[in-house]
Amino acid sequence: MSGPPSFPRPRPVPPEPLLPLLFRRISFAYYRRSERYRWYVAHSPIDDIHPVPALADALLLELLSRLPARAVRALGLRSLRGLARGLAFGVRCLEIIGKYLFLSARSVYRALRRLGRWARRTRSGPATAAPPFATPAERAHG
């Protein structure tokens, strides 16, 4: 039994590049928050609405395709599923932290902008405008 190895390499479905996958998910998530998507969901039969694959499921498949085969076999489906869920949880945490950071930054930016406008108004005319962050009652009284 000599000669070249007779077992050809396996030919699994080639995994796609990771970044486009991630970008597509992000833009799809962005689209799902849009007014148009809400219209589409409200006006479409349930079967037409795109299912949204869970991040943990997508990550599990990526892990199965990208980790070395020996690692996949050693870990098994159960551990890999746990790992994918952990990663998805991490991503979700990052998303929440990112959202709060963004919202905080946005509110600071808006507060500064409002302060700037008020400052400009008080410089240019009589100080009748309500100060920024005034209560509605204060604002009503000018």
Partner 1 sequence: MGERGRLAVTDFRGLRAALAQRSAGKRVIGFDVFDTLLRRRVEPETVKDLAARWLAGRVAPDGSDRNWRAVREHRRRLEWEHYVAAERAGDDAEYRLRALAVDWAAAAGAGDPAALAGELVAHELTLEQCATFPTPGIAAVLAELRAAGRRLVFVSDSYLSLDDLWALLRQHGLAEYFAAGFCSSEARRTKRSGRLFRHVLQTEGLSARELLFVGDNPYSDGETPSRLGIDVLRIDDAEEARRRLRLRCLEELAARDRFWIGALQREIVESEPRHLRPAGNVEYRLGRLLAPQFIMFTRWVMEQTRALGLGRLLFLSREGLTFLRIYRRLAGVLGPRAGLPPAAYVAVSRIATFLPSLSGLDIPALRRMLRQYDNQTLAHLLRNLSLPPDEFLPLARRHGFDDPHAPLGTAATCAPLRAFLADPEVQARFTAHRDRARALLCNYLRAKGYFAAPAVGLVDIGWKASIQDNLVRATADVPDHPTVHGLYFGLWHIAEDDVPGSFKHGYLADTRRGDWLEQVVFKNGSVFEMFSSAGHGGVVGYAPRPGARVPVRPLLQVEPAERLTFRRYATDVFRAIDDYLREYLERLPLLVGTPAACRPYLLDQLRRYVLYPRLDDARAFLRYSHVESFGVFHQTTYEFKGSWRRALLGGTPLGAVRRVLQMLQREFWPEAYLRRLRVPLANFVYDLLDTRYAGRQVPAP
Please enumerate in sequence order all residues whose Cβ is within 8 A of that of 87, keeping only pairs 6 or more positions apart, or say none: 56, 59
As measured in angstroms, the least distance from the Cβ of 103 to partner 1 is 18
Residue that is written with structure tokens 């050693």 in the block = 74
Computed from CA positions of residues 57, 25, 91, 75, in that sequence, does the dihedral angle turn out positive or negative? positive
* Nearest residue to 38 via CA among 49, 51, 47, 27: 49
In the chain the first and final C-alpha atoms are separated, in Å, by 98
Site string for partner 1, 23-62 (x = CB under 8 A): xx-xxx-xx-xxxxx-xx--xx--xx-xxxxx--x--xx-
Which residues in 92-111 contact partner 1 (CB under 8 A)?
none
Residue in the block written with tokens 């952990």: 86
86 belongs to the binding site for partner 1 (CB under 8 A): no
Residue 52 CB, nearest distance to partner 1 (Å)? 7
Q: Which residues are at the interface with partner 1 (CB under 8 A)?
A: 1, 5-13, 16-17, 19-21, 23-24, 26-28, 30-31, 33-37, 39-40, 43-44, 47-48, 50-54, 57, 60-61, 64-65, 68-70, 72-73, 76-77, 80
